[in-house]
Amino acid sequence: MTEEVMLHGCLNNNAAAQEALYTRFSPRMLGVCYRFARNREDAEDMLQEGFIKVFSQLYQFRNQGALEGWIRRIIVHTCINVLKKNKKFSESVDLIHANSIHLNENNIHSILQAKQVVESIRLLPLGYRTVLNLYAIEGFSHREIAHILDIEESTSRSQYTRAKAMLEDILIKKKILYKPREHFAMTASGANK
Amino acid sequence: MTMERKFYTDKFEDLIKESADDFKMIPSKKVWQGLYNDLHPGRKWPSLVVTFALIFGLLTISYLNTQQHEQLNTNVSDLGKSSLNSSNKNSSLINNTNTKTAAQVAPQRQTISKQSSTSTSSSSVPVAVLANTSIKNLSYYDFEENAETKGEGQLSSRSTSFNENIFKPIAGVADDIHKSNLTPQTAVDQPHVVGNQDINSPEYFNNRISNLPAALINIDKPLSQNSADVNLTTDESNTTKNQKVKKVRTSKVRWMYSLSPTVSYRRYTAFEAPNANTVLSGLTNAVPAFDVNRKSSQHPSSGLEAGITMKYPLNKYFKFTSGFQANYSSYIIEARTVHSTTANLLLQNERTGMPYAFSNSAYYGNGAGINPVNLRNYAVSISLPVGLEYLLGGNDWVKFYVAATAQPVLALASKSYVLSTDNKFYLTNPEMARHINMATNFGAFMSVNSKKINWQLGPQVNYQMLSSFTDIYPVKEHYVNYGIKLAFGRR
């Protein structure tokens, strides 16, 4: 089913077209939700709520850009709204007072391939994770992030810096990432042999 | 990305983004099912599934708990039939001429007992000596009259002259005799007491047979002076002593199983709404004057009632009825999909009456919108109907009744789309649903009897007395169900 046929069917409330659209985009969108949610169940709740909004607002999509990008934006907004509605931020870490967070080394245990990076991201405290997701992955500006999360722009920048440092630390410990100095030392020792 | 690729930290953000974009997860099936139900609410069938499951449960329970009539062995007639021998050429069961009841025979007993000749068989079951009547060989049991070839313990050849006298067995007497171990000789010679009664005495005989069904006896021929006592064979006595007279009981209660497809309508009653503009702030839309025939398009839909009823006759015309019933009612609202928006519903505090606004997301509009959609309002409930039936008339096979019941109702599941305060959107609020209700049912039916089954068919109407909503919602909604009821049960 082409995207145009699918869109037309969804606008006519055709169940087959709706299922086709859902089947095509839901795996990637669930991955998006999974990065924001605390667990898989929460992620699926976000996904369902997000797709309800997608179908109800589909008439607003005017083919200006990719459909996936348009859906993804709705999903991301839904995730943020769910987190704000459920006050998940207060349960984990305050965006401002996150300096004393220490990672549990036991949580950084083996994860594989792309999932490893995502799981590493999920190890971050909720506030760090949200800002990092929105800026580094979803492409929001700090100004937009500040508006969405109802924080200052400077706070968004500082939180992203801290989140990035913490994630680097995790990935280095898992040897998914190497710092430039370490990498240079390794290659040099290899050349001398 | 593979494990072998090592990225410098200056490409950190690229690593994160690329990894995240590659990451996919397959959602569970329940996500799509929940999404589908939200997008297509009119196609849900869980209520019907629940209804059919309730019907099946009702039938199973009623089958296991069906009352069984106690029918026990009959009395005299069965004993008489079992002892009659088809090879008896001369036997006749009933002689209509010159017959007497057993009670009439009784006073003559003593004469015979004194005149009885000896009977030497000691192995046979002793019998009581019989009354002195014109009957030759009266016995408490039927006997064979082809006795010429019989030896001891059976009828003597003299019984051939007693060819028309069949005396129906008198229940209980043989048992007494058997217990007493009375022999024919002793029965003749000595009075014997059984249960403080001399079984050879006329009083005992009279007492025993006075209430029995009439034993038709031919008294044409006088009893021979030399009539012997009649001895029974052991087999006959064993047969009869095992047969007991028991009482036949039948229950008045009848159980009927019913099924009724219905058509459900919705009826609104008067609405009294406070003026939100003067009381509440924040609502942007004024509350219009309420019109009972609110501008919403709806049409009736199908429903179902199934149950089991107990009927107990009070007298010739009235029957008391009680039972258990499962109900499904629904109607359709024609709406149109709209983009998600916030709609308001004006409610009122049950205790104080103060109005307040309930806000919720609305996806369906009244009139304006994108695509047409049917919204199904439904209710699944169980009830306990109690009432009366009145017989109008009829014969043994066909009868006509009218019936009425009142039934407390417990709502198990329901969904109601209601019009928002500004009449523009449909939204739901589960907190408004009333769980306990009351209904009345009126109907007429024809009752037809087949060989084993009683069938009933007729129209009925069911009216929900209380509103589907609690008092927090000022609008009163009542379900009215019209249907045809089919019922069946054992006669």
Contacts of B340 in chain A (CB under 8 A): 52-53, 56-57
**Is A28 part of the contact surface with chain B (CB cutoff 8 Å)?**
yes
Segment B61-68 shows an average pLDDT of: 59
- Please answer yes or no on whether A176 and B3 come within 8 Å at the CB atom: yes
pLDDT at A176: 75
pLDDT at B116: 40
- Please answer yes or no on whether A31 and B23 come within 8 Å at the CB atom: yes
Chain A to chain B Cβ contacts (< 8 Å) = 123
Q: Are strands B398-415 and B372-383 parallel, antiparallel or unpaired?
A: antiparallel
pLDDT band with cut points at 50, 70 and 90 for residue B420: confident
**Is A174 part of the contact surface with chain B (CB cutoff 8 Å)?**
no
> Which of A55-69, B137-151, B183-197, B373-387 has the highest mean predicted lDDT (pLDDT)?
B373-387
Q: Which tens digit of pLDDT belongs to each residue from A4-37?
A: 888 888 888 888 999 999 999 999 999 999 999 9
Residue B175, pLDDT > 70, answer no
**Is A61 part of the contact surface with chain B (CB cutoff 8 Å)?**
no
pLDDT at A61: 84
Contacts of A40 in chain B (CB under 8 A): 25
Contacts of A142 in chain B (CB under 8 A): none
Residue B242, pLDDT > 80, answer no
Q: Which tens digit of pLDDT belongs to each residue from B302-341?
A: 999 999 999 999 998 999 999 999 999 999 988 888 877 7
- Please answer yes or no on whether B1 and A114 come within 8 Å at the CB atom: yes
When CB atoms are compared, the residue of A15, A57, A137 closest to B17 is A137
Is residue A119 packed enough to be buried (19+ CB in 10 Å), middle (13-18) or exposed (0-12)?
buried
Q: Which tens digit of pLDDT belongs to each residue from B140-156?
A: 333 334 434 444 434 33
Residue A56, pLDDT > 80, answer yes
Percent of chain B with pLDDT over 90: 23
When CB atoms are compared, the residue of B6, B31, B36 closest to A178 is B6
When CB atoms are compared, the residue of B20, B30, B40 closest to A117 is B20
Contacts of A112 in chain B (CB under 8 A): 3
- Please answer yes or no on whether A59 and B15 come within 8 Å at the CB atom: no
Q: Which of A156-165, B305-314, B469-478 has the lowest mean pLDDT?
A: B469-478
pLDDT at B326: 95
- Please answer yes or no on whether B24 and A13 come within 8 Å at the CB atom: no
Chain A closest-CA separation from residue B378 CA (Å): 22
Cα within 13 Å of Cα(B93), Cβ side: 9
Residue bearing the bigger pLDDT, A53 or B181: A53
Q: Which of residues 72-111 of A touch B (CB under 8 A)?
A: none
- Please answer yes or no on whether B26 and A27 come within 8 Å at the CB atom: yes
pLDDT at B200: 57
Q: Which tens digit of pLDDT belongs to each residue from B192-218?
A: 455 565 555 666 555 655 554 444 434
Q: Which tens digit of pLDDT belongs to each residue from B443-473?
A: 999 999 988 899 999 999 999 999 998 888 8
Contacts of A27 in chain B (CB under 8 A): 24-27
Q: Would you list which residues of chain B are within 8 Å, Cβ to Cβ, of chain A?
A: 1-3, 6-10, 12-13, 15-17, 19-28, 30-32, 34-36, 38-40, 337-340, 363, 370-371, 373
Chain A closest-CA separation from residue B345 CA (Å): 21
- Please answer yes or no on whether B2 and A113 come within 8 Å at the CB atom: yes
Q: Which tens digit of pLDDT belongs to each residue from B105-123?
A: 444 444 433 334 444 444 4
Segment A164-175 shows an average pLDDT of: 86
Contacts of B373 in chain A (CB under 8 A): 13
pLDDT at A148: 86
Segment B382-390 shows an average pLDDT of: 95
pLDDT at A82: 86
pLDDT at B261: 94
pLDDT band with cut points at 50, 70 and 90 for residue B23: confident
Q: Which of A104-118, B20-34, B140-154 has the lowest mean pLDDT?
A: B140-154
When CB atoms are compared, the residue of B1, B13, B39 closest to A18 is B39
Percent of chain B with pLDDT over 70: 49
Percent of chain A with pLDDT over 90: 37
- Please answer yes or no on whether B1 and A117 come within 8 Å at the CB atom: yes
pLDDT band with cut points at 50, 70 and 90 for residue A92: very low
Is residue B158 packed enough to be buried (19+ CB in 10 Å), middle (13-18) or exposed (0-12)?
middle
Residue B260, pLDDT > 60, answer yes
This prediction has a pTM of: 0.41
Residue of A nearest to B337 (CA): A56
Residue of B nearest to A51 (CA): B35
Chain B closest-CA separation from residue A104 CA (Å): 21
Q: Which of A51-60, B66-75, B475-484 has the lowest mean pLDDT?
A: B66-75
Residue bearing the bigger pLDDT, A85 or B163: A85
| 3-state secondary structure string across chain B | CCCCCCEEHHHHHHHHHHHHHHCCCCCCHHHHHHHHHHHCHHHCCHHHHHHHHHHHHHHHHHHHHCCCCCCCCCCHHHHHHHHCCCCCCCCCCCCCCCEECHHHHHHHHHHHHHHCECCCCCCCECCCCCCCCCCCCCCCCCCCCCHHHCCCCCCCHHHHHCCCCCCCCCCCHHHHHHHHCCCHHHHHHCCCEECCEECCCHHHHHHHHCCCCCCCEECCCCCCCCCECCCECHHHHHHHHCCCCCCCCCCCCEEEEEEEEEEEEEEECCCCCCCHHHHCCCCCCCCCCCCCCCCCEEEEEEEEEEEEEEEEECCCCEEEEEEEEEEEEEEEEEEEEEEEEEEEEEEECCCCCCEEEEEEEEEEECCCCCCEEEEEEEEEEEECCEEEEEEEEECCCEEEEEEEEEEEEEEEEEECEEECCCCCEEEECHHHECCEEEEEEEEEEEEEECCCEEEEEEEEEEEECCCCECCCCCCCEEEEEEEEEEEEEEC
Contacts of B8 in chain A (CB under 8 A): 178-180, 183
How many residues belong to chain B?
A: 491
**Is A34 part of the contact surface with chain B (CB cutoff 8 Å)?**
yes
Residue B355, pLDDT > 80, answer no
**Is A141 part of the contact surface with chain B (CB cutoff 8 Å)?**
no
pLDDT at B61: 65
pLDDT at B296: 64
